[in-house]
Amino acid sequence: IVSIWSVRGEALLITTYQLELSARLMPSDGYKLYAWLLAQIPSDVAEALHSQQDHPISQFVTFDKEKDTSIWNIHLLSTEASALFAPAIESIETISLHTGEISVVSKQPKTEIQFEDIIRQARQTTSLCTEIQFRSAASFKQNGRYVIFPQEKLILQSLVNRWNSFCEEYPLCDPDALCMLESGIYIRDYALKSVRYHLKNVYIPAFVGKVTLDSRLPVPLAELWHAILLWADYSGIGIKTALGMGGANVRFL
């Protein structure tokens, strides 16, 4: 993969948390949890983070039917974000929302991943077929309009843009390689459902479900594609991933 991009800078760290919550939350409650989390850090820092285009956090809520509890999935996408949010996350016992107080039932031990780990795993993956499960409402914005079908180009653009925002030591900066990559991947199957994500007074058109992608790529580009897919587990896909949208899990078939 190193032949595709240049390497520079120091390694960055991704930190992930999974909290089991006592209340049965709606997926759109992810925005309320994000607002609560921002309130736990200095207000000037929170305002600066919220106003920037690329947020160093992605998070979303899912529901565990077996346990009858909600799961809050949090991914901190930079070393700085980890230093800022980790103390608040690790000390959470209750969360006060306007709808009531929520208890943290349990926490999975935090996981720390370096971008080198993603690169290493990508090199070890040989699969040509991948399933992306969209676990929270996902959507894209193109030409000022919402797009509620996960087109190959939009998936790739979303992941590459966020990769370049947070992984400066491995920039994806070869337009020819990215163009070849886009032409070598395609959606083979999908099982999607349209939904609306309630954000303040707006209902954003979106979708949930899964897509299966096939690829026909030479080895260096295949490794690059695998790395980008592995990154999707942490960054999310599409718009407003800091606000609870676009949570994704990738499975190599």
Residues contacting 175, CB < 8 A, separation 6+: none
Distance CA 132, CA 22 (A): 28
Distance CA 127, CA 251 (A): 10
Q: What is the pLDDT of residues 28-47, one digit of tens each?
A: 999 999 999 999 999 999 98
57 neighbors 79 (Cβ within 8 angstroms): no
Q: What is the pLDDT of residues 59-78, one digit of tens each?
A: 999 998 888 899 999 999 99
pTM above 0.85? Answer: yes
